[in-house]
Amino acid sequence: MIYETGAAVAGRGSDLLGDVGGEALARQGAGRSPASFGAAGQSTPLLEKLARSYWTEPADYAGVGQSPTSFGAAGQSPALMDYTDRSGELSRRASAAQPTLGGISVESIRSDFPILSERVGGYPLIFLDNAATTQRPNCVIERISRYYGREHSNVHRGAHELASRATDAYESARSAVARFIGAEDAGSIIFVRGATEGINLVANSFARPTLRPGDEIILTQLEHHANIVPWQMIASERGARLVAAPVDDCGQIILSEYEKLFNPRTRFASIAHVSNALGTVAPVGEMIAIAHRRGVPVCVDGAQSAAHMPVDVRAMDADFYVFSGHKACAPTGIGAVYGKPELLERGVPYQGGGNMIEDVTLERTRYQPPPRRYEAGTGNIAGAAGLAEALEYLTRIGMREIEKYEDALMLRLVSALADIPGLRVIGGLDARRVCAVSFVMAGRTPEEIGRRLNEYGIAVRAGHHCAQPCLRRFGLEETVRPSISFYNTFNEIDRLADALRVI
């Protein structure tokens, strides 16, 4: 979905904020960007709904928590704290009260993440680099420790108790992934190191065998390098070529142009669900339907969507869906590929070795059925156990609650950035964003901004974000990219805005 205008906004607003917010958007926000919400006299019902929707109760500013003006040395206020409401009152109420997700306070959630209590340069850590990786809750850290302390062995074929425990942990993790993304069953889940390896697997095992000289693979201008380079490699080898669907000035895929790319030589499409550089959301359901009408399979790169919104691979009708655990509160070095069972049966393994074989002679090899056919060698067993724990943790909070809260955080973030003189939000202000937003500032390089923010304990990403074609679409080589997760707070957004005003 995107932030539409007019009557369509009212529907989205009602869904996100309830009737009051939807009415406000329809009456006062039609045709305007999120940054205009909060200007003097504008969309007050929406702002009041935002102030109420995620907190247990309204609270006065005095004596409740820390204000944005406590950012910096004692008694110092680097910049304005009330950009969302010129009188300052609503912003003060919002920052002081306690947000909740499904009845669980954000402060309680934050206490699950030990690293969030760290200090950097004397300031409390504000981790806004979640599109690069998320942090780990205690339950995930403890699950990995428990695996190594009580369950560690190699999986499958072992005739002893520890092998049985390790196998149970590994295979139950496969089931946990299937439940989390709405897959048919555990047999449609392949464990990989992450989304990058997952895309390489899909490209080599399923697309490469079908390619002939002159064939085409469709991507978009939004893609991460991990969803470009593997396709370039197999296209170069097979004499095929890549074509990319363009995006508009708001970072939205132009569906009419995407549809025009399909022709009798199109063999595969691979698309990002959410742009890692811009945070804009692709209409994957429509894009998959367009491809399927022409008999073309689609791989969805879910690296930036799996931890931020409910995912149902069957509802979107994805042929393949890949994601990384480390962007979903799980350990590094673990991720998953979903594939439709009938496609997994037809694929060709691109890595060989132990675990994936059924019988081997010097003349030939007979492979295991999927998914083990695609899992050569010893997998990341501890990582799989940690991934299952992370996904169960997210499920306990509720993915719809996470999506709703992060949508409000993102509204606040985009509004805050748009109010800073000399700052340009890349992709405009009208698109719905998930997790990430990119910007540049006049007179400052992204690296300089990143270094200066770090002096205040604020972690953001500065650079090309492994998405150079995307940034070059907007005439840029690098940007600053703050990115949020459900453990971030409105107060942290305010502090980022305060710091940007003074660096």
Mean pLDDT in order along the chain per 10 residues (503 residues): 31 35 31 35 38 35 30 35 36 56 95 98 97 98 98 92 97 98 97 98 98 98 98 98 97 98 98 98 98 98 98 98 98 98 96 95 96 97 98 98 97 96 92 95 98 98 98 98 98 98 94
Name the β-bridge partners of 448. none
DSSP secondary structure of 213-271: TT-EEEEETT--GGGTHHHHHHHHHHT-EEEEE-B-TTS-B-HHHHHHT--TTEEEEEE
Query: In the chain, what are the domains?
Result: 65-128+399-502 (3.90.1150.10), 140-396 (3.40.640.10)
Amino acid of residue 417: L
CA distance 83 to 250: 23
CA distance 322 to 335: 8
pTM: 0.83
Catalytic residue among 139, 329, 466, 470: 466
Helical pair 44-53 and 399-418, crossing angle rounded to 10 deg: 140
pLDDT, position 147: 98
pLDDT, position 98: 64
pLDDT, position 480: 98
**Of residues 190, 162, 158, the one with CA closest to residue 174:** 190
Is 466 annotated as catalytic? Answer: yes
CA distance 5 to 410: 18
Which residue bears the tokens 């697309």? 207
